[in-house]
Amino acid sequence: MFETGVASLWPATRHKPGRNGCKWPAGGHNGERDLPRDLAAEPQTGQVGLDRPVLVGNVVSGCAWLLLLALLGSWVLALIGVAYVAAGSVFLAAVYARDSLNVRQRALSWAAPWLVAVALWTFIASGIDGGKPSSLLNLWVGLLIGTATYVAWQLVALAVGHLVRTTSAVARNR
């Protein structure tokens, strides 16, 4: 059968008493027996936490913008946007659910969906332009439209998320 634990990952480094100045006990490196309890414990496989106000804010904002896009007749773009908004909303809610985020991590977590939006709009612009993905004009259009749509989405999401936070805080205080 298969051995579990750190020692089984490197079979060539098993314990050889007296060799190479090894200080492990004479029992050797046998699975998790010699590891501290916190290293030997099984990894935690709980649910990924989501920040509810961030999730609700992003989904509501995304639905509002996509509904507007669909009403204007661009239902194909709205369908592409549904996948983007769903993935982006869950990503941002999962990132902001973490307790300890430094400023760099917050900036990178906000920039990642923005870069995806720019890439998506660049791809859409290249399809309109005849399929020339390396065109500098397509990148400019992607940067301009991707940034504008992402900022609009996040501004409305911020307002809705703030509303969800304040209403849930009021409801808890009753």
Helices (H), 14-135: 37-40, 52-71, 75-96, 103-128
What is residue 8's predicted lDDT score, i.e. its pLDDT? 38
Q: Is there a single domain that holds both residue 56 and residue 34?
A: no
Residue 57 CA: distances (Å) to CA of 11, 71, 76, 146: 50, 21, 23, 19
What is residue 98's predicted lDDT score, i.e. its pLDDT? 85
Domain edge (last residue) among 14, 31, 46: 46
Q: Is there a single domain that holds both residue 34 and residue 108?
A: no
The Cα–Cα gap between 134 and 128 comes to: 13
The Cα–Cα gap between 134 and 99 comes to: 41
Q: Is there a single domain that holds both residue 17 and residue 81?
A: no
Q: Is there a single domain that holds both residue 29 and residue 102?
A: no
Is 54 in contact with 93 (CB distance < 8 Å)? yes
Is 58 in contact with 153 (CB distance < 8 Å)? yes
Q: Is there a single domain that holds both residue 13 and residue 77?
A: no
Domain assignment of residue 157, given as a range: 52-173
Q: Is there a single domain that holds both residue 61 and residue 1?
A: no
Q: Is there a single domain that holds both residue 89 and residue 131?
A: yes
What is residue 132's predicted lDDT score, i.e. its pLDDT? 61
Q: Is there a single domain that holds both residue 115 and residue 133?
A: yes
Please give the average pLDDT of every successive group of 10 residues along the chain, which has 174 residues: 41 49 53 45 58 94 94 90 95 88 88 95 81 75 94 95 86 68
Q: Is there a single domain that holds both residue 150 and residue 133?
A: yes
What is residue 23's predicted lDDT score, i.e. its pLDDT? 55
Q: How many CB atoms lie within 10 A of CB 80?
A: 16
Distance of CA 166 to the CA centre of its chain: 25
What is residue 6's predicted lDDT score, i.e. its pLDDT? 41
Distance of CA 138 to the CA centre of its chain: 26
Among the listed residues 81, 75, 77, the one whose alpha carbon sits nearest the alpha carbon of residue 116: 81
What is residue 83's predicted lDDT score, i.e. its pLDDT? 95
The total domain count for the chain is: 2
Q: What is the CA radius of gyration of the chain?
A: 25
What is residue 10's predicted lDDT score, i.e. its pLDDT? 39
Among the listed residues 56, 62, 34, 54, the one whose alpha carbon sits nearest the alpha carbon of residue 150: 62
Q: Is there a single domain that holds both residue 93 and residue 155?
A: yes
Q: Is there a single domain that holds both residue 88 and residue 155?
A: yes
Q: Is there a single domain that holds both residue 135 and residue 63?
A: yes
